[in-house]
């Protein structure tokens, strides 16, 4: 593995500390509470600007497969744990996704019907919400930059705290139950991963930097059974987070009750920790087990694609509907990751970014709709295109992006995943196309029921200035990823090349399943 390139300036540490410190200040300084939204937007825009400067000035796209902007600080030297930061191409684009979405979420926080139930308390509630979002931003940047397995695990668990409070304190009527279910599922997955973290360290090279991913990659010893058990301990945790069938059931409940902005960050960014972890940890640490498990995982991914699609069609709550569409989309990502095809792997990483933009747009726009209509249920609407044409147009564009219409963000990554998988297994790729067909149904049918038909007897305003700004930025990103995906592909392709080869030798093409009738 290439030697990490040390940063000339501690950019990643700064990007992590700025929103974290800002969150603490906002929570502690009461005079800021009434200006919480403005404060949050300013801080998050500064973080975005810092990320742009860091990646433009120091990140070399020609060596995007190498860890760059590296920083290492001693933390628990007795067991070889360090605060090790660094990013390759995949980490860079995921941090980019996070820092772009956070200011958009904060900018339209007051467009969520759950965030201002008592106007006289709005200052305090806004401050708490914005503070937790900024804290979450710090954790998101940190987890995509972590280069120490133990540090990654700590952050994997730490990210539960802000999400739990964002759902449990600011969500809908059943918010406490939804937050608890999210917490229990995630904690269970994390505890399973902890067993694998300890086992990997014990079986690895040890030494003063014994938890560094670069040191553990390909060097974790043990029998084939032990390797598989360690791999599964990581994979199960990431499958819960991704979310994959059958450990996905926490997600619809969480998104149904969470504020729209929280759902946008949870599904748009944080759930990508699952697929990111599969690529960044599962494959390099346990290559043999990853090869052996790939056929079964691809079948689970295929089930996720189809199950998520049918459940989305059956959903009457728009937030639950979007959650189930994401179960289907994550199935495509995981299928691409474990196919052993470089094309599919590149598509899967690009899919992570495209899905983050399109799904965040859907959650936020449905939040705007629910704020005006007081409901998330499809059956409570009809004809709203005649009342709120901009809102309807935003929903349609975001929906078309998620169903992979050519020219929008979802098309290129989904095409790459399907094309790469087809090289490995024609049958698996062919069956997965059912998910594409289902996508047209679960997007276009709700659009028809909510936005078309006779004009309803209501008077509500269309999108406001901040809502237009956020929707416009997200639409622009969807178009950019649709028409000009090349720059992102160039950044993530070296990572995809390194990762795909790990499972290529024993994916479907050479598995016992394929030797039956799967190809």
DSSP string for 273-322: HHHHHIIIIIHHH-HHHHHHHHHHHHHHHHHHHHHHHHHHHH--BHHHHH
The token pair at 168 is 């449990």
State the average pLDDT over residues 502-506: 73
CB 371 within 8 A of CB 355: no
Q: Is 2 within the bounds of a domain? A: no
pTM of the model: 0.91
pLDDT at 513: 42
Q: Is 323 within the bounds of a domain? A: yes
Measured CA distances, 203 to 207, 284, 285, 304, 347 (Å): 12, 15, 11, 33, 33
Q: How big is the chain by its Cα radius of gyration, in Å?
A: 22
CB 23 within 8 A of CB 134: yes
Q: Is 1 within the bounds of a domain? A: no
The token pair at 68 is 């760059």
User: What percentage of the chain carries pLDDT values higher than 90?
Assistant: 55
Confidence of residue 458 (pLDDT cuts 50, 70, 90): confident
Say how many C-beta atoms besides its own lie within 10 A of residue 402's C-beta. Answer: 27
The HSE-up count of residue 274 (CA atoms within 13 Å, CB side) is: 26
Q: Is 457 within the bounds of a domain? A: yes
157-216 pLDDT tens trace: 999 999 999 998 888 888 899 999 989 888 888 888 888 888 777 776 655 566 777 777
Q: Is the pLDDT of residue 4 over 80?
A: no
The token pair at 55 is 């990646």
Beta bridge partners, 81, equal 76
State the average pLDDT over residues 371-386: 89
CB 378 within 8 A of CB 319: no
Phi first, then psi: give them for residue 376, nearest 5 degrees: -105, 5
Q: Is 6 within the bounds of a domain? A: no
Question: Angle formed by the axes of helices 175-203 and 250-257, to 10°?
Answer: 130
Segments forming the whole domain that contains residue 78: 11-518
Q: Is 351 within the bounds of a domain? A: yes
Terminal alpha carbon distance of the chain: 34
Domain tally, the chain: 1
- Among candidate residues 365, 375, 337, the one with its CA nearest the CA of residue 462: 365
Q: Is 5 within the bounds of a domain? A: no
Looking up tokens 């990013």 gives 87
- Among candidate residues 175, 386, 155, 192, the one with its CA nearest the CA of residue 273: 155
Q: Is 23 within the bounds of a domain? A: yes
Helices (H), 59-159: 89-107, 122-145, 149-158
């Amino acid at each position: 593995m290439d030697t990490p390139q040390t940063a000339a300036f501690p950019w990643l540490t700064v990007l992590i500390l700025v929103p974290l410190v800002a969150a603490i200040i906002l929570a502690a300084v009461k005079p800021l509470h009434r200006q919480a939204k403005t404060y949050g937007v300013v801080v998050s825009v500064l973080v975005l600007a810092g990320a742009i400067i860091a990646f433009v000035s120091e990140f070399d796209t020609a060596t995007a497969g190498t860890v760059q902007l590296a920083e290492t600080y001693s933390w628990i030297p007795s067991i070889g744990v360090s605060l090790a930061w660094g990013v390759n191409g995949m980490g860079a684009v995921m941090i980019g996704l996070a820092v772009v979405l956070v200011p958009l979420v904060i900018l339209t926080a007051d467009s969520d019907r759950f965030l201002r139930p008592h106007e006289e308390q709005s200052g305090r509630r806004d401050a708490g919400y914005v503070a937790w979002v900024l804290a979450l931003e710090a954790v998101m940047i940190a987890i995509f930059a972590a280069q120490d397995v133990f540090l990654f695990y700590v952050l994997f668990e730490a990210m539960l705290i802000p999400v739990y409070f964002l759902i449990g304190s600011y969500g809908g009527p059943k918010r406490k139950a939804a937050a608890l279910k999210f917490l229990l599922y995630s904690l269970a997955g994390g505890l399973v991963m902890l067993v694998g973290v300890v086992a990997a360290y014990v079986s690895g090279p040890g030494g003063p930097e014994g938890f560094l991913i670069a040191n553990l990659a390909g060097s974790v010893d043990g029998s084939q059974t032990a390797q598989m058990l360690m791999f599964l301990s990581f994979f199960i945790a990431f499958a819960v987070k991704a979310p994959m069938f059958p450990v996905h059931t926490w997600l619809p409940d969480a998104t149904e009750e969470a504020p729209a902005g929280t759902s946008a960050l949870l599904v748009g960014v944080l759930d990508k920790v699952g697929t990111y972890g599969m690529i960044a940890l599962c494959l390099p640490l346990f290559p043999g087990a990853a090869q052996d498990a790939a056929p079964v995982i691809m079948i689970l991914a295929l089930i996720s694609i189809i199950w998520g699609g049918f459940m989305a069609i059956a959903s009457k709550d728009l937030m639950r509907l979007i959650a189930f569409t994401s179960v289907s989309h994550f199935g495509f990502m995981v299928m691409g990751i474990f196919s052993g095809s470089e094309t599919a792997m590149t598509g899967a990483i690009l899919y992570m970014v495209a899905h983050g933009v399109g799904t965040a747009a859907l959650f936020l726009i449905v939040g705007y709709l629910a704020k005006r209509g007081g409901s998330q249920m499809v059956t409570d609407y009809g004809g709203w295109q005649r009342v709120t044409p901009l809102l309807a147009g935003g929903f349609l564009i975001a929906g078309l992006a998620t169903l992979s219409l050519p020219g929008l963000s979802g098309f290129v990554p989904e095409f790459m995943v399907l094309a790469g998988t087809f090289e490995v297994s024609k049958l698996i790729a062919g069956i997965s196309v059912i998910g594409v067909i289902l996508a047209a149904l679960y997007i276009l049918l709700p659009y028809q029921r909510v936005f078309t038909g006779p004009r309803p007897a209501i008077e509500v305003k269309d999108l406001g200035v901040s809502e237009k700004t956020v929707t416009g930025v997200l639409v622009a990103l969807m178009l950019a990823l649709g028409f000009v995906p090349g720059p992102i592909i160039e950044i993530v392709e070296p990572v995809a090349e390194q990762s795909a080869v790990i499972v290529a030798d024993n994916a479907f093409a050479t598995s016992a399943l394929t030797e039956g009738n799967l190809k």
